[in-house]
Amino acid sequence: MAALEIHNVRKEFGSERVLKDVSISIDSGEFLILVGPSGCGKSTLMNAIAGLEPVTSGNIYIDGEDVTWRTPAERDIAMVFQSYALYPSMTVRQNISFGLEMRKVPKAEREAAVERVADLLQISHLLERKPAQLSGGQRQRVAMGRALAREPKVYLFDEPLSNLDAKLRVDMRTEIKKLHQRLGTTIVYVTHDQVEAMTLADCIAVMRDGHILQLGSPDEVYNNPVDMFVAGFMGSPSMNFIRATLEADGDGYALRIATPDEADLLLPWPAARHTAELVEQLDKPVILGLRPEHFSEEDVRLSEQAEGTLLEAKVSVVEPTGADILLRLPLGEQEITARVGPKCEVSPGERLALRVDMSRAVLFDAETEQRLA
Amino acid sequence: MANVIRRQTPAAKLWRGVLYAVLVIAALFYVLPLVVMLMTSIKPLSEISAGTLLSLPQNPTLAPWTKAWGEACTGMRCEGVGGYFWNSFAIVIPAVLISTAVGALNGYALTKWRFKGFELVFALMLFGCFIPFQVVLLPMAQTLGWLGLSSSRAGLILVHVVFGIAFTTLFFRNFYVGIPNELVSAAKLDGAGFFRIFWRILLPVSAPIIVVSVIWQFTHIWNDFLFGVAFSAHDTQPVTVALNNLVNTSTGVREYNVDMAAAMIAALPTLVVYVLAGKYFVRGLTAGSVKG
């Protein structure tokens, strides 16, 4: 049975439609991430699940029960807020046990629960402090502790890491993942950070303008995006979108990329990925999507066996990140990003041969921006 | 300030000197009436008629104070203002507490439990801050009559509470607007209800604005004369009305020293409140604006 099911939920503020017919269902123990740019409705959806905002229509089920019109307290959920929302006048201990106290849990059990989560999150030494005396990372832990103490059916995380500095954010991300693996809790997690989404989720819902564009595993969303928005939103640096024309090339197809000053580039479309729909797109403009890691520098020793198509371009910018090097180079009318190994010795202005792994390329309709192949 | 960087040229120093001189003169100008009142109140009557307003008391005496407290005539009775002083407390304390409590709940509801039309309700309450007292005297008298509270202490308390709520609501509303709504959301998820959230989450952080509300209400209600004279009977009159009666009751020689002592007595509680809590008053008024 689904731990959480959202069924055709709509939310309108006056004439503004914030959620337009959203449906999601996740199983018990699943980690769902709602991701999207600001204003896509992900926080509104979160508030609807929490019961902090009534929905305009549709239903929300938790553990099979319709909770659409229940108060937040009756839904048996816990939430970690972006601002942590720790009660300023209470100690950490009181913050963690407040929810239990409100649910009339006996004092001894409350104490045990506080000890349990304090151990789990390593905040035992902070229990007597007030929130104002804690650092950002510590507050974050307390906020999670408060949610964990109650052992609710569903946990909601509303951008919990966005107020932490970069290093702490990565640490806490790992910690949340470990906690989820250990406790097997059902989590709905809102973020605008696609790295968090990729690393944590069992299931990602990419949202835009009140719609869910794609709901799938991180692998699906990353490698098999439904449209250009999803493709561009997931991944950093973002996917390269290259204007091209689909042409017949012998038995198969090829993509012609018009290049100013030089001869047009012709990239063959892998035969294994032919679809019937591609015929209709012949001689029409399409958008070729290639992720930076779909490029690799040509290695002379391997060139005999290596897969993929070779192309050559003049490097305009070299950005070493340590782990690898990002290159900016012109391809057709646009500039693209390629990710190459850290050993690649190239300077701006030099020409470089790159291999393109066309088997992982994706193709979009230039007008509708929908996926073609 | 020592930690301000500025040029130490002679001209700059002179300018500073002028600045301080102006400030000191202004401060003296403001404190002078109080000094004159205090000096006059401890002079014997003979010294007042002989000396000038600013001459220092030669033989200080507390007799005018004791007379003002227990013997001076306020109209027909000659029992001083002491009894009315306690009358004022009996009116002010409940009125301050009730109006502050109601204002706090109003401010909480208007910011954290927004309902349809909350803006209109708030605008109307704000409007209450601008209604002149005189306008409501007759309707209020009529209302108190209907309620059977004419000339009673409870009636006067009610009037002050009703008038005070506009201000206390404004104070608390502006303070609670700065407290994150997520705190209330978190408490709702934790299972707390309207009053529990107010009592356990909001109230413990409200100290600065409670101080503001209490000082504001205390000084206003204590210093009120109009409602006191209009809606109280003889034995429930506040000290401001008694002071007026005392000054206006002439029994031959005008006893300026007793008048001044009575005026000091009437002004003392507000002065004490301000000296003790004024710091928090200023802090509380600016708390919301600086630190969200």
Model confidence band, residue B290 (pLDDT cutoffs 50, 70, 90):
very low
pLDDT value, residue A223:
93
- Contact partners, residue A353, CB within 8 Å, separation at least 6: A297, A298, A310, A311, A312
Say yes or no for a CB contact (<8 Å) between B204 and A89. Answer: yes
In chain A, residues with a C-beta closer than 8 Å to the C-beta of B186 are 79, 81, 85, 87, 146
As a whole number, mean pLDDT of residues A332-358 equals 88
Model confidence band, residue B288 (pLDDT cutoffs 50, 70, 90):
very low
As a whole number, mean pLDDT of residues B77-96 equals 92
Q: Which of B180, B184, B181 is nearest to B198 (CA)?
A: B184
Say yes or no for a CB contact (<8 Å) between A89 and B188. Answer: no
Considering only CB atoms, A99 lies closest to which of B190, B193, B205, namely B190
- CATH code given to domain B82-291: 1.10.3720.10
C-alpha distance from A178 to closest chain B C-alpha (Å) = 24
Q: What is the pLDDT of residues B40-75, one digit of tens each?
A: 999 998 888 887 888 888 888 999 999 999 888 887
Say yes or no for a CB contact (<8 Å) between A98 and B200. Answer: yes
Q: What is the pLDDT of residues B90-149, one digit of tens each?
A: 999 999 999 999 999 999 999 999 888 999 999 998 888 898 988 989 999 999 999 999
- Contact partners, residue A358, CB within 8 Å, separation at least 6: A267, A268, A269, A270, A308, A309
Considering only CB atoms, A81 lies closest to which of B186, B201, B204, namely B186
Say yes or no for a CB contact (<8 Å) between B200 and A146. Answer: no
As a whole number, mean pLDDT of residues A27-53 equals 92
In B, residues 192-231, which contact A (CB 8 Å cutoff)? 192-193, 196, 200-201, 204-205
pLDDT value, residue B51:
79
Considering the segment(s) A240-365 as one domain, its CATH architecture is Beta Barrel (2.40)
- CATH code given to domain A2-233: 3.40.50.300
Phi-psi region of B191 (alpha: psi -120 to 50; beta: other; left: phi over 0): left
Residue A235 CA to residue A366 CA, distance in Å, equals 21
Q: What is the pTM of this model?
A: 0.84
Phi–psi pair at A71, nearest 5 degrees = -75, 160
Residues recorded for chain A: 373
In chain B, residues with a C-beta closer than 8 Å to the C-beta of A51 are 188
As a whole number, mean pLDDT of residues A137-152 equals 91
Domain boundaries of chain B, sorted by first residue: 10-64, 82-291
pLDDT value, residue A304:
54
pLDDT value, residue A151:
87
Q: What is the pLDDT of residues A186-207, one digit of tens each?
A: 999 999 888 899 999 999 999 9
- Is residue B189 over pLDDT 90? yes
C-alpha distance from B217 to closest chain A C-alpha (Å) = 26
Residue A269 CA to residue A251 CA, distance in Å, equals 11
Q: What is the pLDDT of residues A262-312, one digit of tens each?
A: 778 888 888 888 887 888 888 889 999 999 999 888 765 555 555 667 788
Residue of A nearest to B181 (CA): A85
Chain A residues with at least one Cβ partner in B under 8 Å: 50-52, 71-73, 77-79, 81-83, 85, 87-90, 98-99, 102-103, 146, 150
Question: Do the strands A77-80 and A154-158 form a parallel or antiparallel pair, or are they unpaired?
Answer: parallel
Percent of all residues in chain A with a pLDDT value above 70, rounded to a whole number: 97
Domain boundaries of chain A, sorted by first residue: 2-233, 240-365
C-alpha distance from B60 to closest chain A C-alpha (Å) = 51
Say yes or no for a CB contact (<8 Å) between A73 and B192. Answer: yes
Considering only CB atoms, B185 lies closest to which of A52, A90, A150, namely A52
- Among A253-262, B10-19, B170-179, whose mean pLDDT is lowest? A253-262
pLDDT value, residue A127:
95
Percent of all residues in chain B with a pLDDT value above 90, rounded to a whole number: 57
In B, residues 135-194, which contact A (CB 8 Å cutoff)? 180, 182-183, 185-193
Q: What is the complex's ipTM, to 2 decimals? A: 0.84
- Contact partners, residue A349, CB within 8 Å, separation at least 6: A314, A315, A316
Residue B186 CA to residue B179 CA, distance in Å, equals 13
Model confidence band, residue A115 (pLDDT cutoffs 50, 70, 90):
very high
Which of B184, B190, B205 to mutate to test binding with chain A, by most A CBs within 10 Å of its CB?
A: B190
pLDDT value, residue B2:
60
- Contact partners, residue A306, CB within 8 Å, separation at least 6: A298, A299, A355
As a whole number, mean pLDDT of residues A360-365 equals 91
Give me the torsion for CA of A230, A235, A238, A244, rounded to 10°.
-60
Say yes or no for a CB contact (<8 Å) between A89 and B201. Answer: yes
- Among A112-121, A362-371, B67-76, B213-222, whose mean pLDDT is lowest? B67-76
